[in-house]
Structure 1
Amino acid sequence: MRNLRAAAAVTLAISIAAGVTGCGGGSDSGGGSNASPKTLTYWASNQGPNIEADKKILTPELKKFEEQTGIKVKLEVVPWSDLLNRILAATTSGQGPDVLNIGNTWSASLQASGALLPWDAKNFDAIGGRDRFVDSAVASAGAEGQDPAAVPLYSLSYALYYNKKMFADAGIATPPKTWDELVADGKKLSKDGKWGLGAEGGNLSNNIHQVFVLGKQHGADFFDSSGKATFTSDGAVAAVKQYVDFMAKDKIVAPGNAEYAQNQSLTDFAKGRTGMVLWQAAASTFAAQGMKPEDWGVAPVPVPSGTPGQDKQTNSMVAGINIAVFKNTKNIDGAKQFVKFMTSDAEQKLLNKTYGAIPPVKAAQADEAFGAPDLAVLRDTLSTSAAPLPQVPNESQFETAVGTAVKDLWADAAAGKPVTTETVKAALEKAQQTMGQ
């Protein structure tokens, strides 16, 4: 997802256990669920460089929707650091929006709460049909075998961004394709106060995204087929250790990155302090910080060997933003009209191009605008070598537990404490115990 999400709160599990359902409370409608609404409230996630940029991008589009339908949309752009907790509060209080954006990895957890409108065949038909959307994007909208809890809005994947001047100065001709190459290049770049690779050690979600992919490359998932946590498997331990070792062993990540949690690694990259960064759709952020397109390049995230693909060659999680409707909103018809508008071919092309994302709508994705070199990498990754995070009800609790374990290991590395297979396994064992399994 764009502008990495805050880690999920454990209170989500409490909400699920209690069977609480959400209720949209921001509408101005004179009737029940079949009434024609006059207004809708919409919580948009912060996709651009800042909240004001999002307002500037979305306001004319919402005005366009109002002109077409007569429905006024009250917009609030919510920072990722606040969004999930705001959603959880809305599910318990009943005071929430009619429509909202959610990180796609939250889909199964929020689905289990019963708060969101299920997108069955009838509801999908109301917005043009399920087959308009890329399969992998729909697969990240809820648990397998259930009607999705949301509709894909923006699709993203990870890529490796690199500073062309720093590479040239270090005598590096091409971006790394394997992790061994990345470490070797990172060591060449890590000198004179500059570093090879940027990381966000304090960002729980980013930690999860990275170790999930490395886990796939080590032949491990963090849950078994029954949904039981398997955080201490050999592959999971190896994945976490490999990630933290970029600082602890390889010395290509600055110790200060252990505390980064608010996109500081992108600032370091844009200012020429870091040579590489693993990120989702970073072009707009680089531009906002004064970096020109010719200053940076983009390549697929490395794999152990060979080329990216499935299973052990996975090199990204299926990232993205979904748009959802609170099930008990009084403006159900208006809410579905708004989802249809936001996922229309025209809006998908406009919004995804603006945000540097890939449309999850097939017809929009085919537009030549998404063939630009950086977007082509994201598009190809999504179609060939990305995998969805586990779609299990306690996925968000997993992000908190394991994300925190990795954060603590980053802190150990920054402090010069040894990070060993044993200490990593102990941290993951502690995280697994918090899952109550």
Structure 2
Amino acid sequence: MRSIRAAAVGAVTLSLALAASACGGGTPTGGGPDDSPKTLTYWASNQGASIEVDKKVLQPELDKFEKQTGIEVKLEVVPWSDLLNRILTATTSGQGPDVLNIGNTWSASLQATGALLPWDAENFGKIGGKDRFVDSALGSTGAQGQDPAAVPLYSMAYALYYNKEKFADAGIEKPPATWDELIAAGKELSQDGKWGLGTEGSNPSENIHHAVVFAKQHGADFFTADGKPDFTSGGAVAGVKQFVDLMAKDKIIAPGNAEYAQNQSVSDFAKGKTAMLLWQSASANLKSQGMSEDAYGIAPVPVQSGTPGSGTGVNSMVMGINLAVFKNTDNLDGATKFVKFMTSDAEQKTLNEAYSSIPPVKGAQSDQAFNTAANTVLKDTLSGSAVAAPQVADESQFETAVGTAIKELFADAAAGRPVTEDSVQAALEKAQQQMPTK
């Protein structure tokens, strides 16, 4: 997924009650005067630099689908700041789209609501079969042992983007492979009002993605094997502290980044305000903001030591977008045809090339367009050194609680308040207390 912004677990319940009558998205799935077998409503996530960019990418493809099938698709591109709450509202009110994008890390959480169509063998058969999809993408489609709640649409991985000119001017000959090397480079590059690295401290979704990776590199998971929260282990605390210390102690991230939200760190990198960026499949976003592909290099996200790989060499989550169908859609046949269209080899090539993501469909992934140096880094990461988000029913609450805790720690760092092992432990303990009790 690109990013999320959900309400804290207590606030989710309140927001559902308040927003149930305000859920948008077109044709109600529960029935109504606009229902038609020739119409579908589709909530797409904001993948590009803006909602308008997404409309320009998607509308020609939706028009193509209508020409082929006679089915009109009513598109709404939903900002990440609203998407999860909109979906949760739809699952309880019955008012929502026929087809929707979900961040792949939400798969198990939304599966647990029972509102999404299960992709069993029969349904997969209608779109060409489950074996068309790569294993890493299928691993983030729902809880283990259950039929997937969605099918993969776009696959992404984190990478380190670095400004070639700034590296050359600073005499840095190669991208950092370890965090010690990144910090040393970042200090060299943090000069004259420019900064070594950018982040989005006010974006809980970005925070949680990095937290999972840093914790993994310290040998920790945020959930036990039986799915219980374990936010305060030594490895989790060390990982979160190391991430926040990039601003608090190492001072290679501008304090103002504590207030940054979605895409602001990408914009700074494109404008030359920062020399490095940790981001998911950023090439299309950077291009849309005027940065030439020749201006930056791409390398794997650093690890503690050695090279990226399995175990503590994890350097990304398996990121991506899945395509789901509401179980109570009044146009199941049309929705299934739309999923088949969007996951066809031809559409996978078109859409993933537009978003600089990797097709999760094998037949499209082999296309020459996805064999660039940048995509090789992403594909190698997905196949060898990325880990799926916890596939547990409370995953979305975890993202909110821990992502927000890290947001508050970044606010402390920006204000000059100490970020200590004790303060990180306390923040993560508070986050764990916000998780649902069984």
The verdict on a shared fold, with TM-score over 0.5 as the criterion, is yes
SS in 1 for 2:112: helix
Shift of 1:30: 10
Q: Assess, with a 3 A threshold, how the Cα gap between structure 1 residues 109 and 150 changes in structure 2: closer, same or farther.
A: same
Shift of 1:9: 4.8
Shift of 1:24: 9.4
Residue 170 of structure 1 corresponds to 170
After superposition, the C-alpha distances for 1:32-72 in whole angstroms (9 at most, x for unaligned) are xxx99211111111111111111111111111111111111
Q: Assess, with a 3 A threshold, how the Cα gap between structure 1 residues 419 and 87 changes in structure 2: closer, same or farther.
A: same
SS in 2 for 1:155: strand
Residue 119 of structure 1 corresponds to 119
Aligned partners of 1:373 and 1:155: how far apart in 2? 17
Which structure 2 residues correspond to residues 307-346 of structure 1 after superposition, within 5 A? Answer: 307-346=307-346
Residue 355 of structure 2 corresponds to 355
What's the % identity of the aligned pairs?
70
Shift of 1:25: 7.1
After superposition, the C-alpha distances for 1:349-371 in whole angstroms (9 at most, x for unaligned) are 11001110000001111111101
State whether residues 28 and 37 of structure 1, in contact with CA within 8 Å, keep that contact through their aligned partners in structure 2: no
Q: TM-score, normalised by structure 2?
A: 0.94
Which structure 2 residues correspond to residues 33-72 of structure 1 after superposition, within 5 A? Answer: 37-72=37-72
RMSD: 2.2
1:190 is the counterpart of 2:215 = no
Shift of 1:11: 6.3
Q: Assess, with a 3 A threshold, how the Cα gap between structure 1 residues 283 and 379 changes in structure 2: closer, same or farther.
A: same
Q: Higher mean Cα deviation, 85-94 or 403-412?
A: 85-94
Shift of 1:81: 1.0
Residue 423 of structure 1 corresponds to 423
Runs of 4+ aligned structure 1 residues displaced above 3 Å come to 11-15, 22-25, 27-31
Residue 26 of structure 1 corresponds to 27
Residue 102 of structure 1 corresponds to 102
Q: Aligned pairs, how many? A: 430
Aligned partners of 2:422 and 2:194: how far apart in 1? 31
Task: Give the residue type in structure 1 aligned to 2:27.
Answer: G
Shift of 1:436: 4.0
Residue 6 of structure 1 corresponds to 5
Aligned partners of 1:23 and 1:295: how far apart in 2? 41
Q: 5+ residue gaps in structure 1?
A: none
Residue 205 of structure 1 corresponds to 205
Residue 285 of structure 1 corresponds to 285
1:371 is the counterpart of 2:381 = no
Residue 401 of structure 1 corresponds to 401
Q: Assess, with a 3 A threshold, how the Cα gap between structure 1 residues 13 and 260 changes in structure 2: closer, same or farther.
A: closer
Q: 5+ residue gaps in structure 2?
A: none
SS in 2 for 1:161: strand
Task: Give the residue type in structure 1 aligned to 2:128.
Answer: G
Task: Give the residue type in structure 1 aligned to 2:317.
Answer: M
SS in 1 for 2:338: helix
Q: Assess, with a 3 A threshold, how the Cα gap between structure 1 residues 50 and 292 changes in structure 2: closer, same or farther.
A: same
Aligned partners of 2:227 and 2:7: how far apart in 1? 18
Shift of 1:97: 0.5
Shift of 1:431: 0.8
SS in 1 for 2:306: coil
Q: TM-score, normalised by structure 1?
A: 0.94
Task: Give the residue type in structure 1 aligned to 2:45.
Answer: S
Residue 138 of structure 1 corresponds to 138
State whether residues 36 and 333 of structure 1, in contact with CA within 8 Å, keep that contact through their aligned partners in structure 2: no
